[in-house]
Structure 1
């Protein structure tokens, strides 16, 4: 039985995994997505003590 990390890395090497990686990179390149992530990081860091 393969470990979860092996299964994930195998998936990411597959054609479907590559499509998802490319889609994620395109989404992260968008300024609106970057702004939303910065706002989320700010909110989450504000919750820490």
Structure 2
């Protein structure tokens, strides 16, 4: 459980809170959402993915 404890400590620190806030902003960004949907479709074998 040492890894879990380290993660908890990091998330409690100011740098961890900044990283969390940045991740939340990125998750709300429509461009990031489109990238994730494209990757999921690619791994699931559905959809065209990105055009080349």
Question: How many residue pairs are counted as aligned between the two chains?
Answer: 45
User: TM-score scaled to structure 2, two decimals?
Assistant: 0.79
Tell me, in whole angstroms, the C-alpha distance in 2 between the residues paired with 1:45 and 1:12.
Answer: 32
Paired position in structure 2 for 1:44: 43
What is the alpha-carbon root mean square deviation over aligned residues?
Answer: 1.1
Structure ranking higher on relative contact order (CA contacts 8 Å, 6+ apart): 2
Question: Tell me, which stretches of 5 or more residues in structure 2 are unaligned?
Answer: 46-52
Deviation at 1:45, TM superposition (A): 1.4
Tell me which protein shows more helix as a share of its residues: 1
Residue 18 (structure 1) aligned with residue 42 (structure 2)? no
